[in-house]
Amino acid sequence: MDSVTPTVHSAGHGPHDNDSFHHHHSHGPASIHPGHHHLLTVEDLSVSFRSYSDGRFFETAQVETQVISGLSLSVHEGEILAVVGASGAGKTLLADAILGLFEPNATVRGRIWFDGQLQDASSLARLRGRAIALVPQSVESLDPLMKVGRQVEGQPQGRADAAKRRLRRQQLFARYDLDESVASLYPHQLSGGMARRVLLCCALMEDPKLVVADEPTPGLDLPLALKAMEDFRFLAQQGTGVLLITHDIELALKTADRVAVFKDGTVVEETSVESFASPQQLRHPFSRALWHALPEHDFAVAEDGGLPGAMSADSGQLPAPMASAIAGAGALVNETTPGDAAGTGDAAGAGCAAAQDEMVRKGDREKGGAR
């Protein structure tokens, strides 16, 4: 696997107003730039999968299927960025790339900076479970044969570390209203809400700077989902960046500071929630279509079957295509056999990272890669 040595972002942000438009996005009230860089920057990310085409025996050729193309987005410290798109569109592949989790038949290209440092697959794997944490969409990622307390605390290195981890877990349980007795329970003894709070505790054991929440409220109606989102708002208020992956535009608009609109394997617009107050404030036709499709806007659909409220490409108002926005982008996050990087790093101190890794791999095998 080719690699890129992590370096300081050489094209660092110069001083600018937090409400300015730059790096393909506009800002919200919570957008801040300590050190003149974003907490997370993804530039020109592309993900494809190699497979064998249909053909006669001994004549089958390998083909490359592109799933994500030219994707760029940024997360600021202390904000929630919601990535909104249809189920099965490939949003979870974005989470995998940020976490350094790739399937052996995947080819991943692009650039990812974290806290001002250019990353590769190996360095992202070292950050996983520590500076970058995952809150998975399924409570099945918890080990059914291990007590909850031990799963949250992870594997300690010696007695002193064990005591430190136990104290940290107790603090997290107290924060999220989990009784100390829960530590002695198995996952099947937890209610759905308790299990989700346990998953959040797993993610926060190492006090991460960035939390990636992949569809954290499946099956919940809007009031219950909003209640669950209060935990992520608390994290953002403490300075943690939150990347919320969801297909629920209503939830995103009520919870997030900014929204990245995901369509056809890329982010077509990244803007503040306030921009959704009016379709005239949205730059891309698909974002405007989402606005018109909201219940309070009567689910409007254009008579010609096209996108309602869309701007004409001839008007000159549409932004340049995302794939061409990064001139000369070619730094390699990962290529050929990225599966080798998934297990990189010391297992000690990773909290529930091992369980999260296995959950992601299981989901990949079951869903065939594109999600």
Rounded average pLDDT per 10-residue block, the chain, 371 residues: 35 46 51 66 95 72 90 95 88 92 91 94 93 90 94 92 95 92 96 88 94 85 80 92 92 93 94 92 91 79 42 33 28 38 38 50 45 43
- Cβ-based neighbour number of residue 193 at 10 Å: 14
Both tokens of residue 236?
Answer: 């953002």
What is residue 137's predicted lDDT score, i.e. its pLDDT?
81
C-beta of residue 128 within 8 angstroms of C-beta of residue 10: no
Q: Which domains does the chain have, with CATH numbers?
A: 34-137+213-265+321-365 (3.40.50.300)
> Who's near 209: CB < 8 A, 6+ residues apart?
39, 77, 115, 131, 132, 240, 241
- The secondary element (H helix, E strand) that includes residue 33 is none
d(CA 80, CA 226): 13
Q: How many residues comprise the chain?
A: 371
Six-digit token pair at 44?
A: 């020109």
- DSSP lists the bridge partners of residue 261 as 84, 269
Q: For residue 27, how far is the Cα from the chain centroid?
A: 18
Are 257 and 81 a contacting pair, CB within 8 Å?
yes
Query: Can you give the pLDDT at residue 219?
Result: 67
Which pLDDT belongs to residue 344?
36
Q: Assign 242 to helix, strand or coil.
A: strand
Whole-number Å distance between alpha carbons of 82 and 202: 21
Radius of gyration of the chain (CA): 21
pLDDT of 293: 85
Which pLDDT belongs to residue 300?
A: 65
> What pLDDT score does 83 carry?
96
Q: Residue written as tokens 């697959």?
A: 121
- Phi/psi-derived region of residue 361, left when phi > 0, alpha when psi is between -120 and 50, beta in every other case: alpha
Q: What is the pLDDT of residue 212?
A: 96
Position 218 scores a pLDDT of 76
Angle between helix axes 159-175 and 192-204 (nearest 10 degrees) is: 130
pLDDT at position 58 is 66
Residue type (1 letter), 271:
T
